Amino acid sequence: MAIYNPKSLKAEEFINDGEILDTLKYADENKDNLALVDEIIEKAKLRKGITHREASVLLACENEEKIKEIYALAEQIKKDFYGDRIVMFAPLYLSNYCVNGCVYCPYHLKNKHICRKKLTQEEVKAEVIALQDMGHKRLAIEAGEDPVNNPIEYILECIDTIYSIKHKNGAIRRVNVNIAATTVENYKKLHDAGIGTYILFQETYNKKSYEELHPTGPKHNYDYHTEAMDRAMEGGIDDVGLGVLFGLELYRYELAGLLMHAEHLEAVHGVGPHTISVPRIKAADDIDPDEFDNGIDDETFAKIIAIIRIAVPYTGMIISTRESKSVREKALRLGISQISGGSRTSVGGYVEEEDEDENSAQFDVSDRRSLDEVVRWLMELGYIPSFCTACYREGRTGDRFMALCKSGQIQNCCHPNALMTLEEYLMDYASPETREIGEKIIEKELLNIPKEKVRNIAREYIEEIKKDGKRDFRF
Ligand code: SAM
């Protein structure tokens, strides 16, 4: 039997089933132990995180007062670390050819009626122009796993094409990549191509369920998939993004596994995950989410987000348009720092209208608002939509990014960068109503830059964006 060891490079040792089952037992035994719950909340208030065991106790706890305290602390930690900034991105689906058999995903090999598409470089260009015209600066590229149709060379070519397109004032400044687990050599190539975060969802941390949910194809190999982030880091990628697909397995098992994975990355590489995503299963071409028994309600979902927020304060959290406006609103308060807007989950969906009969989409989108509507909505809620990509472009990745967080200089760095990129968005892409709201927010928020010198420079740069048409300033 494998023994739990967060420093091990073997999947079954750092995500250890025995340790997770013991953790859940410990959490059940202690869920009404309010003295312990208080102790864990006090520890979380130090803002240095809590362990998977401690987080599991909080998740099991049903005491309403304590849950309120957890939510309040999550909101406070969110404010302290991320201010009111929300980073914007969009997914770009390159190809839905796939050789895997994932039972929850309509791209699975046996689905013969979904429309299969793979973008040519000309089509990538057209999609990117459409995304730039919406105002996006940061993309997450997505592709099925298919060594023949989507080899690494194809992905690299697409990344090159995406970075090369400069249409009007537009530019994609950061390309995050969500493709199947691969080799160290391929991760090196992705690193050399200048990717931002490498994102790979674990789907489920439970090995037995994982193997059943991925019955065929290369993704069936649990160990290879679970050890992917270690290979990515070995290949030079500093920023990795974790996630589980909620609904596949017991959520309590998943939270423990997810946090153990974060602890493992910290123990081995000295830096935890850059982001954690929280997708839930959605209806799709031949997928009915009701066929999966472990779906979680909105309240449990919110609780999970709050607990992740306090467990790993330095890790950004992402929510996609899988979720509705109202679910996203609550999630933003409790910990989410990055959201997508105006998303299409079909291949070629930004140029072509999505067609019911020729559907190539991965899942149904709940939040179908345009980017302009999402940006305005965020500002009406008191947030600052940010199109910033400065950290990655200044080499502040991995532990250097974490050092910036820990130095307390975020307000002098991320805050002005958010305001400057928002100004670019307002000038180039926003509707008149959105622009009016945004200009007022920028004026007000400039005063919240602590250092006078930085404040004055930011004000000058914003004037240059507005009056001289200059772009791409950053601290
Ligand atoms: N093919 C790549 C892989 O295997 O990791 C990644 C790209 S896939 C396009 C992105 C993610 O979408 C998957 O990791 C999965 O968690 C999620 N997904 C798949 N089917 C879904 C569904 N029906 N509803 C919601 N999310 C889904």
d(CA 348, CA 332): 29
Q: What average pLDDT score do residues 128-135 get?
A: 98
Whether ligand 1 lies within 6 angstroms of the CB of 322 is answered as yes
Residue 357: pLDDT band with limits 50, 70, 90: low
Q: What is the per-residue pLDDT for 358?
A: 65
d(CA 263, CA 257): 10
User: Measured in angstroms, how far is the CA atom of residue 132 from the centroid of ligand 1?
Assistant: 24
Which residue of 105, 141, 246, 346 sits with most ligand 1 atoms within 8 Å of its CB, as the best mutation to test the pocket? 105
Render pLDDT for 275-291 as a digit per residue (tens, 0 to 9).
Answer: 999 999 999 999 999 99
Q: What is the per-residue pLDDT for 299?
A: 97
Look at residue 356 and tell me whether its pLDDT is greater than 70: no
User: Measured in angstroms, how far is the CA atom of residue 323 from the centroid of ligand 1?
Assistant: 15
Mean pLDDT of the chain: 96
Whether ligand 1 lies within 6 angstroms of the CB of 282 is answered as yes
Residue closest by Cα to atom 26 of ligand 1: 281
Residue 469: pLDDT band with limits 50, 70, 90: very high
Residue 188: pLDDT band with limits 50, 70, 90: very high
Residue closest by Cα to atom 18 of ligand 1: 105
Q: What is the per-residue pLDDT for 338?
A: 98
Residue pair 398/100 in contact (Cβ under 8 Å)? The answer is no
40: tokens are: 């864990």
Residue closest by Cα to atom 13 of ligand 1: 201
Q: What average pLDDT score do residues 444-472 get?
A: 96
Whether ligand 1 lies within 6 angstroms of the CB of 259 is answered as no
Render pLDDT for 295-324 as a digit per residue (tens, 0 to 9).
Answer: 999 999 999 999 999 999 999 999 999 999
Look at residue 397 and tell me whether its pLDDT is greater than 70: yes
User: Measured in angstroms, how far is the CA atom of residue 272 from the centroid of ligand 1?
Assistant: 22
Q: What is the per-residue pLDDT for 352?
A: 87
User: Measured in angstroms, how far is the CA atom of residue 9 from the centroid of ligand 1?
Assistant: 25
Look at residue 151 and tell me whether its pLDDT is greater than 70: yes
Whether ligand 1 lies within 6 angstroms of the CB of 104 is answered as yes
Q: What is the per-residue pLDDT for 333?
A: 98
User: Measured in angstroms, how far is the CA atom of residue 114 from the centroid of ligand 1?
Assistant: 15
Whether ligand 1 lies within 6 angstroms of the CB of 201 is answered as yes
Whether ligand 1 lies within 6 angstroms of the CB of 77 is answered as no
Which residue of 155, 213, 281, 362 sits with most ligand 1 atoms within 8 Å of its CB, as the best mutation to test the pocket? 362
Whether ligand 1 lies within 6 angstroms of the CB of 363 is answered as yes
* Least-confidence region, from 76-80, 193-197, 237-241, 363-367: 363-367
Number of helices and strands in the chain (H, E): 20, 9
Whether ligand 1 lies within 6 angstroms of the CB of 426 is answered as no
CA atoms within 13 A on the CB side of 30: 19
Which residue of 139, 179, 201, 214 sits with most ligand 1 atoms within 8 Å of its CB, as the best mutation to test the pocket? 201
Look at residue 353 and tell me whether its pLDDT is greater than 80: no
Q: What is the DSSP string of 1-58?
A: -----TT-SSHHHHS-HHHHHHHHHHHHHHTT-HHHHHHHHHHHHTTS---HHHHHHH
Q: What is the per-residue pLDDT for 355?
A: 63
Name the percent of the chain lying above pLDDT 90. 92
Render pLDDT for 101-114 as a digit per residue (tens, 0 to 9).
Answer: 999 999 999 999 89
Whether ligand 1 lies within 6 angstroms of the CB of 95 is answered as no
Whether ligand 1 lies within 6 angstroms of the CB of 249 is answered as no
User: Measured in angstroms, how far is the CA atom of residue 98 from the centroid of ligand 1?
Assistant: 11
Residue pair 314/276 in contact (Cβ under 8 Å)? The answer is no
- Give the position, in ligand 1's atom list, of the atom nearest the Cα of 100: 4
Render pLDDT for 399-440 as a digit per residue (tens, 0 to 9).
Answer: 888 788 778 788 889 999 999 999 999 999 999 999 999 999
Render pLDDT for 208-253 as a digit per residue (tens, 0 to 9).
Answer: 999 999 999 999 999 999 999 999 999 999 999 999 999 999 999 9
Whether ligand 1 lies within 6 angstroms of the CB of 224 is answered as no
Name the percent of the chain lying above pLDDT 70. 99
Higher pLDDT, 168 or 399: 168
pTM over 0.85: yes
The two beta strands, 198-199 and 240-243, are: parallel
Q: What is the per-residue pLDDT for 401?
A: 84
Which residue of 220, 221, 245, 254 sits with most ligand 1 atoms within 8 Å of its CB, as the best mutation to test the pocket? 245
Residue pair 350/127 in contact (Cβ under 8 Å)? The answer is yes
Coil, helix or strand for 232? Answer: helix
Q: What is the DSSP string of 237-297?
A: ---EEEEB-BTSS-HHHHHHHHHHHHHHHHHHHS---SEEE--B---BTTB-GGGSTT---
